[in-house]
Chains A and B, each alone.
Chain A
Amino acid sequence: DAKTTQPPSMDCAEGRAANLPCNHSTISGNEYVYWYRQIHSQGPQYIIHGLKNNETNEMASLIITEDRKSSTLILPHATLRDTAVYYCIVRVAGLRDDKIIFGKGTRLHILP
């Protein structure tokens, strides 16, 4: 089973910030949080990952709560091209003999 829970769907107006939550209440100290997104009929694309500190790259920002039991992916200025399914997963970095389990993700609709 996936170690994360996400809302099944969300809407966001174009140009606004999209905030996608993820709960990972059983996360252990050495597990990272990874975010991917999948546009229809394509392979998922890596967005960002983090351990404790907030992270930002050219695509998004990742906010991890202090207790690490939840996180939020932020797309600062959503565009129609950000319409996709967003997956949050947790895993131990460097643990080679490990399954990588995806949940059902959040279907984000960007509204014009």
Chain B
Amino acid sequence: DGGITQSPKYLFRKEGQNVTLSCEQNLNHDAMYWYRQDPGQGLRLIYYSQIVNDFQKGDIAEGYSVSREKKESFPLTVTSAQKNPTAFYLCATIDLNEKLFFGSGTQLSVL
């Protein structure tokens, strides 16, 4: 997984609860990305950050929030506004050659 740590590997959310997925990297990459993957589907972009203290919405940002206070960290919060949060969440960084590196993912399920 190339220096990207996602935790936890499995996460369960109760109705109305906010949960935060962790993504930490030690690759010294500036850009970080969050993707959502539903069964049998491709990856859909939630949020991305090119630099510390800055981030942009992807294609499916509603119901999610992020922060980028440190270069190494890009946590994703799945809020209660996200009505269908069950999915596999992937965090990625990109190097200077534009190669993406992915974490091992977090499977989020609703209780």
Given A43-B103, A97-B50, A32 and B43 touching (CB < 8 A)? no
Given A99-B59, A100-B33, A91 and B98 touching (CB < 8 A)? yes
Please give me the residue from chain B that is nearest to A43 by CB atom. Answer: B102
Residues of B within 8 A of A93 (CB): 97-98
Is A104's CB under 8 angstroms from B102's CB? Answer: no
Residues of B within 8 A of A100 (CB): 33, 45, 48, 92, 94, 100
| CB contact list, B72-111 vs A, under 8 A | 88, 90, 92, 94, 97-105, 107
| CB contact list, A72-112 vs B, under 8 A | 87, 91, 93-94, 96-97, 99-105
> Within the complex, which residue of A2, A43, A99, A104 is in contact with B1, where a contact is CB–CB below 8 Å?
A43
Number of A interface residues in the complex (CB < 8 A): 24
Residues of B within 8 A of A101 (CB): 45, 59
Does B64 touch A at the CB level, under 8 Å?
Answer: no
| CB contact list, A32-73 vs B, under 8 A | 32, 34, 36, 41-46, 49
Is B104's CB under 8 angstroms from A43's CB? Answer: yes
Task: Classify the secondary structure of A's interface with B.
Answer: loop
Is B43's CB under 8 angstroms from A102's CB? Answer: yes
B65 vs chain A, min Cβ distance (A): 18
Query: CA A43 – CA B31 in complex, angstroms?
Result: 17
Query: CA A27 – CA B99 in complex, angstroms?
Result: 18
Does B42 touch A at the CB level, under 8 Å?
Answer: yes
Which B residues fall within an 8 A CB radius of A? 1, 4, 30-31, 33, 35, 41-45, 48, 50, 56, 58-59, 88, 90, 92, 94, 97-105, 107
